[in-house]
Structure 1
Amino acid sequence: MSAGGAGRFARLRHTLLGRRYWQRYRFTTNNEVKLLRSGDEFFEALIGRIDAAGHDVMLETYIFCDDEAGQEVNDALLRAAARGVRVRVITDGVGTARLKMFEQWPLAGVDHRIYNPHLFGRFGFSRTHRKLAVIDDQYAYCGGINIVDDYENNGEKLPYRRWDFAVELQGPVVSDVRDAFEVQWRRIRVGHRPLESMRPDLAPHDTASLGSLRRRRRRRNEALWAGGEPCVAFVARDNLINRRAIEKAYLAAIGQARHEILLANPYFMPGRKLRRALVVAARRGVMVKLVIGRKEFKALDYAVPFLYHALLRAGVQIAEYEKTLLHGKVAVVDSNWGTVGSSNLDALSLMLNNEANVVLLNDPAIGGLREAILGAFADARRIDEAHYESRPARLRALSWIAYTSYRVAMKLLTVGGYD
């Protein structure tokens, strides 16, 4: 590519992404974090903030259901719009059906955009799997909770509410969540209006110092980690710049673990780097506990156990959670690092979909998250290595076929990115 072409491409990327988004993620101090342990807690907090909003409400979600929870959130959005609040909502074209309420939104003043309306669209096969909200630039939400009733799953009643989490944020990190939403809002519309109408927030000549900025940010992040002061980072994943941001956040934490790694995830199909990091941590004496969801996708129920062999041999403790639907995507390392977000540990989340996690360092909310993961591990069915290795040949073969099929399919979808 010529120097002129490279410069134009750099300016285009910056125009689409903005300054802060270019720099992967940053840790900030002086934030307040509240851990929300269920949809009930999340919806109560979210609707309360929307009802108190004075000028701006932003919401991005993969699933927006026309059920009791969805109607309550919808009513709050309509009330806000009626007060003159600017209300913007992003839903996913596959995750959310074309609901009747959407027809009402434009008339009521709710601005709605759909990310990738078709299975294969302008953004390829990717989905927006993020669950975000920003209220008046003062409060932000991030987690794994969709706009859906806690006890419903694909038309079936769950025995207990979903095991899921979100966080309510106040402080400097809120602006990072807002920036990510604004980027998504612009990206969805870029095909419908001139690129020049999207104003960048960094002069083009400043992009030359991007590498230096990233190095300084990395050093500052490391200093904050070592310093013991509570801090928060918002980590967004996309297919433009931040392709491996969430995976790298996990790898950094696992690589520095000294005592304990607790990880809960419904779709545990990470690539080799993350699996190897867990194995290495366990072999150096770190206690590693994995809580894995079951009974949502039968193919994964057969494929995921194929990965257990190497993990169990290294000393990783694995438990399958079947009490209710495990939907939370959370982890705690050494009681001083934690993450809550939308990203599963599978190829779709780590390599294809738009995702968002919050990373906590030395924050008091980590204690509650650790307690919840340990509780789920105690409630789950522990995988015994001897029993696992003695599985019938038919079941082992079925597991290999399911895993191999998944891996081939994901390599095709991610154009070889998934390892």
Structure 2
Amino acid sequence: MNVAVEHIATDQPPDDAKVRDLDYGWQPGNRIELLENGEAYFPAVFEAMRQAQREILLETFILFEDKVGHELQGILIEAAQRGVKVIVSLDGFGCGELSPAFLGELAEAGVAVQMFDPAAKLVGIRTNWFRRLHRKIVVVDAAVAFIGGINFSADHLGDFGPEAKQDYAVQVSGPAVADLHHFALAQSGRQVRTRRGWRRRQQRPSLWPTHTDDGLVRLIYRDNLQHRDDIEEAYIHALSKAQKRVVIANAYFFPGYRLLREIRNAARRGVQVQLIMQGQPDVLLAKLAARMLYDYLLKDGVVIHEYCQRPLHGKVALVDDDWSTVGSSNLDPLSLSLNLEANVLIRDHAFNQQLYESLETLARNHCQTMPEKRKPRLWLWRLTVGFLVFHVMRHFPALTGWLPAHKPRLKPFESQAHDH
């Protein structure tokens, strides 16, 4: 049996400059629901897919052949068989272990399966480490959307054990879904109709809306073309506006100096700034890198917690009592300089309070708080090394751009065969 799996090896669809340059503005009148961990996320997403009538768009960094992956596969196959258009975009690194049989069953049912930057192993080692499709987006019938940091894998469920991840996503209903749908469809390489409201804007919409009605949502994303710094700039702008409180919970925390400076400056002017970092990381290097920055922040009053119950995988933040962000982007060189990422910015008092209460519970009950006064031993050396490492990584996209594997292009369909 021949199975067609489309392979994409590009940061954005190269044939549509209008789509590539789009900025998405603030959309009012949305309903936003916080989904914490797989226990809340998977039932909501799966139920929306089961109810789909026309279209399912899915992008994810990781999909495993475990109980979550198999349930997702069954739902997508059933949807495709009843006539729903299903497009699944997977990362070639994060989904590199998926079997041809698993992908083939999807394709045979009519699911359009796309793999971003696939690469064969070299001496048993995967080589496609950089510029990952790291987004996690689901849009169903252009009516409801999900975005956050949760992959389709069983390690986002509590019964996975001590290594189960702590993570967040949001479910969005309302006008902002049109932006998420348009974006996801464009990234899949499909033809997108341009209409008033989608046209390229000569100036980017404000990162901080002038009106403060609840239910405001704005999609922001990072690519390796015109939107390299959008997510980082959104954080910096929000931090510069902070007056009362800032809470950032981030799995991989190693930002650049500008963002670090805004965190420190907010604390210096009296804002209560809390960072929730990994205490039980799935990648030990992430913890070591973050700790290189602790002294720089602690001395100016930033409160740093390390979450110790299980690995922290969240990428969320809030400022004051109405600004929040949830998405796929960590605050490290990979997310801020290399990966394809997407977040939503949210201006909503009730959502902000819900997220704050969730993070406050983590900080109060499951975290170790770093002492305000730590031994200054080698702190300047650690900060200097951290600065140099980050800025080497910041220029890495320009270096990798010369590699043939990352020339923007769409690979043709490839046929594979397997026994059914």
TM-score after normalising by structure 1: 0.82
Indicate which of 326, 335, 344 corresponds to 1:340: 326
Say whether 1:168 aligns with 2:166. Answer: no
1:398-413 to 2 correspondences below 5 Å: 403=386, 406-407=389-390, 410-413=393-396
Match of 1:308 in 2: 294
Say whether 1:147 aligns with 2:134. Answer: no
Q: Distance in 2 between matches of 1:95 and 1:401?
A: 32
Match of 1:28 in 2: 27
Cα shift readout 1:153-172 (whole Å, capped 9, x = no counterpart): 9xx95327421111111111
Match of 1:322 in 2: 308
Cα shift readout 1:332-352 (whole Å, capped 9, x = no counterpart): 110210011100000110111
More helix by share: 1
Do the aligned partners of 1:151 and 1:159 also contact (CA within 8 Å) in 2? Answer: no
> Given the superposition, is the C-alpha separation of residues 160 and 184 from structure 1 closer, same or farther in structure 2, using an over 3 Å criterion?
same
Do the aligned partners of 2:255 and 2:390 also contact (CA within 8 Å) in 1? Answer: no
1:25 CA drift (Å): 2.8
1:151 CA drift (Å): 5.3
Q: Distance in 1 between matches of 2:318 and 2:372?
A: 24
1:43 CA drift (Å): 0.7
Match of 2:189 in 1: 186
Report the RMSD for the aligned CA atoms in angstroms: 2.9
Match of 1:191 in 2: none
Q: Distance in 1 between matches of 2:192 and 2:315?
A: 34
Deviates more, 1:29-38 or 1:270-279: 29-38
> Given the superposition, is the C-alpha separation of residues 165 and 13 from structure 1 closer, same or farther in structure 2, using an over 3 Å criterion?
closer
Match of 2:251 in 1: 266
Do the aligned partners of 1:43 and 1:73 also contact (CA within 8 Å) in 2? Answer: no
Match of 1:98 in 2: 98
Say whether 1:230 aligns with 2:215. Answer: yes
1:270-419 to 2 correspondences below 5 Å: 270-294=255-279, 295-378=281-364, 379-386=366-373, 388-389=374-375, 403=386, 406-407=389-390, 410-415=393-398
AA aligned to 2:33 is K
* 5+ residue gaps, structure 2: 1-11, 120-125, 401-420
1:75 aligned counterpart, secondary structure: helix
1:281 CA drift (Å): 0.6
Do the aligned partners of 1:15 and 1:200 also contact (CA within 8 Å) in 2? Answer: no
Do the aligned partners of 2:250 and 2:277 also contact (CA within 8 Å) in 1? Answer: yes
> Given the superposition, is the C-alpha separation of residues 167 and 17 from structure 1 closer, same or farther in structure 2, using an over 3 Å criterion?
farther
Indicate which of 187, 190, 194 corresponds to 1:201: 194
Report runs of 4+ in structure 1 exceeding 6 Å deviation: none
Deviates more, 1:75-84 or 1:408-417: 408-417
* 5+ residue gaps, structure 1: 1-11, 188-197
Cα shift readout 1:180-202 (whole Å, capped 9, x = no counterpart): 21222118xxxxxxxxxx56627
1:9-48 to 2 correspondences below 5 Å: 15-18=15-18, 22-48=21-47
Q: Distance in 2 between matches of 1:367 and 1:202?
A: 36
AA aligned to 2:47 is G
Do the aligned partners of 1:131 and 1:144 also contact (CA within 8 Å) in 2? Answer: yes
Cα shift readout 1:222-268 (whole Å, capped 9, x = no counterpart): 312xx344311111211111111111111111110000000000100
Q: Distance in 2 between matches of 1:109 and 1:36?
A: 30
Do the aligned partners of 2:267 and 2:302 also contact (CA within 8 Å) in 1? Answer: yes
Q: Distance in 2 between matches of 1:401 and 1:302?
A: 14
Do the aligned partners of 1:125 and 1:413 also contact (CA within 8 Å) in 2? Answer: no
Identity %: 33
Match of 2:113 in 1: 112
Do the aligned partners of 1:88 and 1:110 also contact (CA within 8 Å) in 2? Answer: yes
AA aligned to 1:303 is A
Q: Distance in 1 between matches of 2:127 and 2:263?
A: 34
Q: Distance in 1 between matches of 2:193 and 2:18?
A: 6
AA aligned to 2:369 is R
Aligned pairs, how many?
Answer: 377
Do the aligned partners of 1:14 and 1:22 also contact (CA within 8 Å) in 2? Answer: no
Do the aligned partners of 1:29 and 1:231 also contact (CA within 8 Å) in 2? Answer: yes
1:314 aligned counterpart, secondary structure: coil
Indicate which of 149, 158, 163 corresponds to 2:161: 158
> Given the superposition, is the C-alpha separation of residues 408 and 230 from structure 1 closer, same or farther in structure 2, using an over 3 Å criterion?
closer
> Given the superposition, is the C-alpha separation of residues 202 and 231 from structure 1 closer, same or farther in structure 2, using an over 3 Å criterion?
closer
- Identify which of structures 1 and 2 has the higher relative contact order when contacts are C-alpha pairs closer than 8 Å and 6+ apart: 2
Q: Distance in 1 between matches of 2:278 and 2:18?
A: 36
Cα shift readout 1:123-178 (whole Å, capped 9, x = no counterpart): x931110000010010100000000114579xx95327421111111111111111
